[in-house]
Amino acid sequence: MARSRPALPPMVGRGLGRASAAARSFGRSWGRVLAPVLATVRPAGWVALVVAVAGLVAGLLLSWREPALVGAAAAVILLLALPWLLGRTRVQVELLLDPQRVVAGNSVAASLRVANPTSGRLRAVLLDLPVGQAIHRYDLPGLAAGARHEETFTIRTERRGVIPVGPATARRADPLGLLSRDATWGGVTEVLVRPAMVPLESLGAGLLRDLEGVTSDAVSESDLAFHALREYVPGDDLRHVHWRSSAKLAGAGMQQLLVRQYLDTRRSHATFVVEDRPDAWGSPDDFETALAAVASLVGRAMLDEIAASLVVGERASNTGAAQSALDTVCRAVPGRTGLVTAAAAAAAAVPETSLLFLLGGTGTDFATFQRAAVSFAPDVRRLAIRVDPGQPSRAAEVGDLTVLHLAELGDLPGVLRWSLG
């Protein structure tokens, strides 16, 4: 039979609990103290530290003079590196990018300005600036009080995406790179790289427009597009009574009021929904072609003063601002959402959509386009763009959905002209 362990007295238990809590607090305190100290040791410094400890221990235990000399030399080198860490590094760092939004293939002129805001002289420091996956390293000279120094460089862009620049890190280190103390200045500034775009004709072709927007077939009791007169029914707003016509009926012996009836108008709003699942695209380049087509269409919408919204997987721009939609193009990445789910989210977020573009690849069949399109109101003009480099570019009307087969980006103006003409 197993014997139960006797319970500890209450006072002993409370004492052990307090001791355990104190030990954990002591460990956390020492961790906060040691973490910045250990962070100053570079890889070469760790090698020198291991050599110093191993050499001195071997020399003392084995009475071996050579390892002791090597260990002592390494320890002296580490001690000589310590003075380089003394002092405070206070600088003002300003990063200028021109332009901050650029089309792939163009360059960005960048300028890094460093100033000494202190009343004393700033010793020479090493400044690291991350640019994308690379690091630009600058040896800054000593700066007098209030002095400034500027470094200029060029950021070259090749593909659509986002290039993070910064934050700048001022590094105070010894000449051998054993120890260093880093201070981070500023934040991350992004360069938004848009895909190459093609010029397009107006997206307003084939759409009825008035001064306030696009008229629909929906009858409204209050709007700007006058439609007809009808008889008054209880509950109608008396502000919409057409008194002149009602007076004519009264003169003819008919005691009946007539009220104005209108057609709904809506602001032109183009919504773009892009398939984000990788298996729906023949290759990653097809996904890039689709995003380049979206960027071209959004750029045209901006010229036409048409609001534009974009949904690519979990990334969305629902404000109607074309500039925001172009930024979303830059940030778009493959995901798992799918075209149908993204279209449902877009329809809920942008109910005022008047022109819809659905974009997919070779793995997106017509049924998927149809299921995505039904999330929107019946009076929305719907177009599907299927990127397929293996087939010639063409356009076809299938029910209320216009399907554009796009082999390459350069064919977009032609097939779009046919579909919106």
Crossing angle between the packed helical segments 284-303 and 412-420, to the nearest 10 degrees: 50
Chain mean position to CA 420:
31
**What is the pLDDT averaged over residues 14-25?**
54
pLDDT tens-digit map of 135-193 = 898 888 888 888 898 999 999 999 999 999 989 887 777 777 777 777 787 789 999 99
pLDDT value at residue 207: 45
| pLDDT given at position 217 | 45
Query: Three-state SS for 191?
Result: strand
Sign of torsion over alpha carbons 40, 41, 44, 48: positive
- pLDDT digit string (tens) for 210-240? 334 444 444 444 444 444 677 777 767 777 7
Mean pLDDT computed over 95-123: 89
Average pLDDT, the chain: 81
| CATH node for 269-420 | 3.40.50.410
Segment among 23-27, 43-47, 187-191 with least mean pLDDT: 23-27
Q: Give the Cα separation of 91 and 147 in Å (integer).
A: 10
Confidence of residue 21 (pLDDT cuts 50, 70, 90): low
Q: Check pLDDT > 80 for residue 109.
A: yes
- Evaluate if residue 19 carries a pLDDT over 60: no
pLDDT of residue 23: 52
What is the spatial order of strands in the sheet that 225-231 belongs to? Answer: 214-220, 258-266, 225-231
Nearest to 304 by CA among 396, 418, 191, 420: 420
Chain centroid to CA 359: how far?
Answer: 20
Give me the architecture of the 92-194 domain, per CATH: Sandwich (2.60)
E strand spans, 245-339: 258-266, 269-274, 307-312, 315-317
- The model's pTM is 0.70
Host H or E run for residue 180 = strand 180-185
What integer pLDDT is reported at residue 216 of this predicted model? 42
Cα dihedral 203/160/365/314 (nearest 10): -90
Q: What is the pLDDT of residue 32?
A: 58
Cα distances (angstroms) measured from residue 104 to each of 52, 109, 294, 389: 52, 14, 15, 21
- Examine the pLDDT at 8 and tell me if it is beyond 60: no
Residue 114: what pLDDT? 87
Q: Is 162 helix (H, G, I), strand (E, B) or coil?
A: strand
Higher pLDDT, 80 or 220: 80
pLDDT (tens digit, 9 = 90+) per residue, 331-383?
999 999 999 999 999 999 999 999 999 999 999 999 999 999 999 999 899 99
